[in-house]
Amino acid sequence: MFLLTNRWILSSGNRNRDFTSSCDLGRTLCHGETGLARGGFFANEHVFASSRSLARRYGVRPRPTLQTSHRLYATAAEATKVALVTGASRGIGRAVALELARVGCRVVVNYASSESAAMEVVSQIEAIGGEATAVKADVCHPEEVDALFAQTTERFERLDILVNNAGITRDGLLLRMKRDQWQQVIDLNLTGVFLCLQAACKIMLKQRSGRIVNISSLVGQLGNAGQANYAAAKGGVLALTKTAAKECASRGITVNAVAPGFIATEMTHGLPLDEIIKAIPLGRLGEPQEVAGLVRFLATDPAAAYITGHTFNVDGGLGIGASG
């Protein structure tokens, strides 16, 4: 069963959680922060370009070939891409920001309230020789989104990658959920993604290139008791991903979604993990860097240039059979 008990709520890497006293929803599993794995999932893969004749005939632009090493990028230009990660001060967003910096991206670390945590991420990126800046913005407010993207282009003069990760939960049973609980989650988890997509696409359409990855959740595919607002928002992100992919593909922009399942964090301590793990075919919780590694592939790897409009689950098989 997906819902193991009414105490466990599956959610993505969000920065705030609020449990109503009217229902016993217990702990929330969230995406935390751990050390990043070395090397990349596809570091030893080769990408074979189409022949010149086929390229001319079908308009295929040859892609760089990866070398058999731990260096992800084949050219210096690829190693200076600019990435904006929303909600990057903690959890999955933090892991993604560090992973993108590890492969050479210049990173904008967006945060809404945790300035010290965001600056810590910037310091960690700089410590490994990377370049990063922290920008405060609540992405459910259009004017703050505009300022966020304006600061990004003023600093780096372009935007190659957007990772929509910011989100919250405001859990409650359907019949007891207050309208402000509903609206807060929809505003940030869905409208925030929409606003950032709009802002990013305005930049990327002019560049005729870009990669966008939206962090959704398995809840958006399966639903979850006590999370009507969250499920609706994350399900909306999946549909929005497909629509944006169709609208932007002709300009060389790919749009994909990643849907995490149960990810190990310090917040899982004290939970009956043995019972949770029994429901996961791979028999363990996921790690934040496993989500970040997939995001990095979709956002930077030449092998992902022909992938768009898809949702990729990182759930240990928990959602087998679910469609995104």
| Residue 321 tokens, joined | 């059979």
Q: At residue 8, what are phi and psi to the nearest 5 degrees? A: -115, 125
Strand segments (E) across the chain: 9-10, 16-19, 28-29, 82-85, 106-111, 132-136, 161-164, 168-171, 210-215, 253-260, 311-314
Rounded Cα gap, residues 254 and 268, in angstroms? 34
Rounded Cα gap, residues 201 and 210, in angstroms? 8
Does 245 belong to an annotated binding site?
A: no
Closest CA to 299 of 134, 84, 86, 90: 84
Q: Is 144 helix (H, G, I), strand (E, B) or coil?
A: helix
Does 323 belong to an annotated binding site?
A: no
Does 87 belong to an annotated binding site?
A: yes
Which of the residues 58, 73, 111, 230 is marked catalytic?
230
User: Residue 15: which residues within 8 A CB-CB, separation 6 or more?
Assistant: 87, 89, 90, 91, 112, 113, 114, 166, 167, 168
Does 232 belong to an annotated binding site?
A: yes
Q: Is 83 helix (H, G, I), strand (E, B) or coil?
A: strand
The alpha carbon of 283 is separated from its chain's Cα centroid by a whole number of angstroms, namely 24
Does 161 belong to an annotated binding site?
A: no
Does 89 belong to an annotated binding site?
A: yes
Rounded Cα gap, residues 51 and 174, in angstroms? 56
Closest CA to 140 of 170, 161, 116, 118: 170
Rounded Cα gap, residues 163 and 193, in angstroms? 9
Rounded Cα gap, residues 11 and 231, in angstroms? 9
Residue 58 a catalytic site member: no
Does 81 belong to an annotated binding site?
A: no
Q: Which residues are annotated as a binding site for NADP(+)?
A: 87-90, 165, 230-234, 263
Q: Which residues are annotated as a binding site?
A: 87-90, 165, 230-234, 263
Q: Which residues are catalytic?
A: 230
